[in-house]
């Protein structure tokens, strides 16, 4: 039993290390449950420097398709796409969903520098 627990702990540590180094993660279960505090069907942004698994309280939660302008989002934040049905989210340097630089697939999360990001879009599948 100890050998199994030790192996599981090593695997989890290795997985967390890979995610921390890459800034992207796909760790959500394949059902419609909240993911680190982000409700099913939503895209969530967490506070600067917050790790969602450690503090599952997003500061911004978006449900409606289309562009959403941001304010006071500086530094590194996690963004989680917990939408369903294959919907994506995009991060954009311009307001009103212009000059988008990254599209985030359903069930993916990224840690990004939000200083140049002025809006996000929730995109229909």
Q: How far apart are the first and last CA of the chain?
A: 45
Split at pLDDT 50, 70, 90, the class of 75 is very high
Which pLDDT tens digit goes with each residue over 19-30?
A: 444 466 555 555
As a whole number of angstroms, the distance between CA 95 and CA 102 comes to 15
CA atoms within 13 A on the CB side of 12: 6
User: How confident is the model over 101-114, as pLDDT tens digits?
Assistant: 999 999 999 999 99
Model confidence band, residue 61 (pLDDT cutoffs 50, 70, 90): very high
- Answer whether 107's CB lies under 8 Å from 69's CB: no
Would you kindly state where each structural domain of the chain is located, as residue ranges? 23-123
| DSSP state letters, 11-41 | HHHHHHHHHHHHSEE----SSSS-BTTBPTT
Task: For domain 23-123, give the fold.
Answer: Gamma-B Crystallin; domain 1 (2.60.20)
**Residue 71 structure tokens:** 């304010």
Residue 72: pLDDT over 50: yes
In angstroms, rounded to a whole number, what is the distance separating the alpha carbons of residues 51 and 32? 21
Residue 81's φ and ψ, nearest 5 degrees, are -100, 100
Cα 37 versus chain centre, distance = 11
- pTM of the model as a whole: 0.76
Query: Count of CB atoms within 10 A of residue 46's CB?
Result: 25
Dist. CA 125–CA 106, nearest whole Å: 10
């Amino acid at each position: 039993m100890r050998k199994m627990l030790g192996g599981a702990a090593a695997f989890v540590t290795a997985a967390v290390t890979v995610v921390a180094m890459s800034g992207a993660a796909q760790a959500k279960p394949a059902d419609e449950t909240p993911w680190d505090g982000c409700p099913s069907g939503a895209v969530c942004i967490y506070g600067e420097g917050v790790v969602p698994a450690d503090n599952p309280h997003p500061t911004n939660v978006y449900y409606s398709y289309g562009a959403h302008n941001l304010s006071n989002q500086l530094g590194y934040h996690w963004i989680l796409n917990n939408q369903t049905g294959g919907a994506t989210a995009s991060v954009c340097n311009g307001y009103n969903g212009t000059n988008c630089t990254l599209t985030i697939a359903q069930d993916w999360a990224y840690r990004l520098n939000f200083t140049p990001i002025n809006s996000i879009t929730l995109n229909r599948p």
